[in-house]
Amino acid sequence: MEVTPEQYARLKQYGEAAVKEDWRYFKGEYNGASNSCVDFTWGALKHAGFEIHRPQVAVHDGTVVTPEYRGPIESHFDGRLKPGHNKVDIQQITAPVPGSPLNSETTNPPPANRSLLQHLLSENDASPEQRQTAEQFKEALGERLGMLGLSDRQVSTLAAAAAKEHTRHVGQGDVQSFHLSKDGSTIAMRQTHAPLREFDVGTALGRSEQSHWNEAIAMDRSRTAEAPTTQNVPYAWSSAQDTSSPAIEAPVLSRT
pLDDT, tens digit, for every residue of 30-66? 877 678 888 999 999 999 999 999 988 776 677 777 7
pLDDT value of residue 230: 44
pLDDT over threshold 90, residue 117: no
Q: Which residue has the higher pLDDT, 255 or 2?
A: 2
128-179, pLDDT tens digit by residue?
899 899 999 999 999 999 988 898 889 989 999 999 999 999 999 999 999 9
Q: Who's near 208: CB < 8 A, 6+ residues apart?
A: 157
Beta bridge partners, 199, equal 187
Q: Does the reported pTM lie above 0.75?
A: no
Residue type, 141: L
Three-state secondary structure along the chain?
CCCCHHHHHHHHHHHHHHHCCCCCCCCCCCECCCECHHHHHHHHHHHCCCEEEECCEECCCCCEEECCEEEECCCCCCCCCCHHHHHHHHHCECCCCCCCCCCCCCCCCCCCCCCHHHHHCCCCCCCHHHHHHHHHHHHHHHHHHHHCCCCHHHHHHHHHHHHHHHHHCHHHCCEEEEEECCCCCEEEEEECCCCCEEEEHHHHHCCCHHHHHHHHHHHHHHHHHHCCCCCCCCCCCCCCCCCCCCCCCCCEECCC
Q: At what angle do helices 209-226 and 128-137 cross, to 10 degrees?
A: 140
Percent of the chain residues topping a pLDDT of 90: 50
pLDDT at 14: 97
Say which residues have a Cβ less than 8 Å from residue 174's Cβ, sequence separation at least 6: 191, 192
